Amino acid sequence: MSKLVSIQNLSFAYPEEPDQALRDINLTINSGDFLMIAGNTGSGKTTLLNHLKKELTPLGTHHGHVLINNTPITNLTKLQSAQTIGYVAQDPQTQPVMSTVIDELAFPLENIGCPSDEIERRITELTNFLGLDQMINRAISELSGGQLQLVNLASVLILRPKLILLDEPTSQLDPLTAQNFLTVLSRIRQELGITIVLTEHRLSTIAGLANRMILLQHQTISFDGTPRDGIKEMIKDDQLAYFVPSIPKLFLTNRLTESKLPISVADGQAAIQNAHLKFTKARQSATSTTDNSPAMLTVKNISFTFDRTKNVIDHLNLTVQQHDWLAIIGKNGSGKSTLLSLLAGLRTPQHGKVYLNKQIVWQIKVADRIRQLSFLSQTPTLQFTADSVRHELTTQANELNLSDAPTRIANVIQQCHLKSILNQNPFDISGGQQQLLGLAIALLAKPDLLILDEATKGLDPYTKVVIGRLLKQYQQAGTTIIMASHDMEFCAQFADHCAFMFDGHVNTLLPTKSFFANNFFFTTPINRIVRDQVADALLVDDITPISEGR
């Protein structure tokens, strides 16, 4: 394989930042590599990725060289850069500029002055290759998150680049959609030989597809090798151990000897069969204690439509007991967010009622409602109102008329790790930090009911666990939690009850263990590989090996 990218002694610091964001990076990427960049939040993954694309190189102090095909990246013309390196961003909504799929695909080719017949040929080829041919005339605004991210990828791929960079491309997608997207990426690499470099927190699928992984720790590369070996390195670090997918974690933490560390479900099942491994339940299932509690929220036969042609919520009934933690699971576009906004009283259904402590939720005065109920949306920036993180918290404390405001503010700052960004503008901090700020604002009220829409979106696995434990503390102190999530393992670890959102209503509302144990697709990887032995095992800690090998 020939050398495509060469990074030599690269160091970088953002303006007015005393610490370096990247330190002494040396890396060679070969043509055809599928390289995964792993590391903690703030380890410099995105900064490194952006250094591989001239137009996205951040402002600051640079040392060292980045060469593409032996040409310094700064010497590439705009045209060469567009035709050599493609970039797909984290948020699918930020890239599209045209109104229909076909116009979005034509946009980059028109930019480089491609003749009309050549554009048509490339669109025909690519849409058939990616299965987008049936949606070329659809409006961009009508596409789901997964479809949109695929269009974004296609709009980059159509320039036939040698290298595609992706910054956490699946972080906003549900697990099945994310898996489909990553499978397409793998096909692109295998069938077209295009080099792929991506950053990703969700290692479970990627580790099986990538041929190479680098690990960024303390702003420099601490490991460069195969994903399997990288995972073995990560488990040694206190924080990075949380990033390790559950199947390899099961084998590594229990020291189950395997020459080739299993990563995928199929590998895991094969390893268990080959080594005749037996597992037993490691801990008692946590039984829900909320079943006899009085109802906190009662939903009676609500229906809601945006355009009066189709009910997004259709005659939905739901009761959530006090101190419960209910996770609502469903695909992108299934109506979860709409339901949560109805439960929070932010929208009014056309039919039915939602009662919070026996009061109709949308009739409670807004000032009173925010003291009883907190809501964190999928887009926390739209809930921000001030010009600094500190000001956001003080503003909300004032609106809540908190008697112990300074103490409460200090608590949430510490709980949500906001100390280092207190003076920054909320719109300038990273997506994960925005999520944490949104959560801190929601927790200030110590609400009776906390409604969270994709609360773990954009968070790294370590921060997720920290937040999960924090929410558990609030729940134990009396808060009821309703959460919509794509994150199966987070739901399995922390929720008391889970339910599906499908076809406008909530179904299969069951205690978490029973819910996942009876699911086939929407369940955890551990459940998939050991369900024959321990039916309700969901997480690594749920099982313990009783025999090791033949």
Residues of this chain that bind another protein (CB under 8 A): 53, 55-56, 77-79, 81-83, 85-87, 89, 91, 93-100, 102-103, 106-116, 119-120, 123, 140-141, 155-156, 159, 341, 344, 346-347, 366-367, 370, 374-375, 377, 379, 381-385, 395-396, 399, 425, 427-428, 441-442
Burial status of residue 447 (CB atoms within 10 A of its CB: 0-12, 13-18, 19 or more): buried
Residue 34: count other Cβ atoms within 10 Å of its Cβ.
Answer: 21
Interatomic CA distance for residues 117 and 130, integer angstroms = 20
To 5 degrees, how large is the angle CA 460–CA 10–CA 44? 10
Interatomic CA distance for residues 205 and 194, integer angstroms = 19
For 336-371, letters b (16+ CB in 10 Å) and e give bbbbbbbbbbbbebeebebebbeeebbebeeeebbb
Question: Do 458 and 305 meet the contact criterion of CB atoms below 8 Å apart?
Answer: no
> CB-wise, 10 or 450, nearer to another protein?
450
The CB-of-384 to another protein minimum distance in angstroms stands at 7
> CB-wise, 139 or 535, nearer to another protein?
139
The CB-of-353 to another protein minimum distance in angstroms stands at 19
Length of the chain: 550
Q: What does the H/E/C string look like for 117-141?
A: HHHHHHHHHHHHHHCCHHHCCCEHH
Question: Do 454 and 477 meet the contact criterion of CB atoms below 8 Å apart?
Answer: no
Q: What are phi and psi of 86, to 5 degrees?
A: -105, 155
> CB-wise, 252 or 356, nearer to another protein?
356
The CB-of-115 to another protein minimum distance in angstroms stands at 6
Kindly list the distances between the CA atom of residue 309 and the CA atoms of 135, 312, 316, 496, in Å, as whole numbers in the listed order: 22, 10, 17, 35
| Identity of residue 297 | L
> CB-wise, 255 or 365, nearer to another protein?
365
The CB-of-116 to another protein minimum distance in angstroms stands at 5
Question: Do 550 and 516 meet the contact criterion of CB atoms below 8 Å apart?
Answer: no
> CB-wise, 18 or 115, nearer to another protein?
115
The CB-of-63 to another protein minimum distance in angstroms stands at 23
The CB-of-542 to another protein minimum distance in angstroms stands at 36
Q: What are the strands of the beta sheet with 359-360, ordered from one edge?
A: 311-321, 295-305, 351-356, 359-360
> CB-wise, 85 or 209, nearer to another protein?
85
> CB-wise, 126 or 207, nearer to another protein?
126
> CB-wise, 207 or 421, nearer to another protein?
421
The CB-of-185 to another protein minimum distance in angstroms stands at 18
Q: What are phi and psi of 419, to 5 degrees?
A: -55, -40
164: which 2 tokens?
A: 């595609």
The CB-of-131 to another protein minimum distance in angstroms stands at 21
The CB-of-211 to another protein minimum distance in angstroms stands at 25
The CB-of-194 to another protein minimum distance in angstroms stands at 16
> CB-wise, 482 or 540, nearer to another protein?
482
> Helices (DSSP H) in 58-132: which residue ranges?
78-84, 101-111, 116-130
Question: What contacts 404, CB < 8 A, 6 or more positions away?
Answer: none
The CB-of-522 to another protein minimum distance in angstroms stands at 28
Question: Do 11 and 207 meet the contact criterion of CB atoms below 8 Å apart?
Answer: no
> CB-wise, 141 or 183, nearer to another protein?
141
The CB-of-140 to another protein minimum distance in angstroms stands at 7
> CB-wise, 109 or 214, nearer to another protein?
109
> CB-wise, 9 or 116, nearer to another protein?
116
Give the E-state strand segments of 454-490 in sequence order: 480-485
Which residue carries 């036939």 as its tokens? Answer: 160
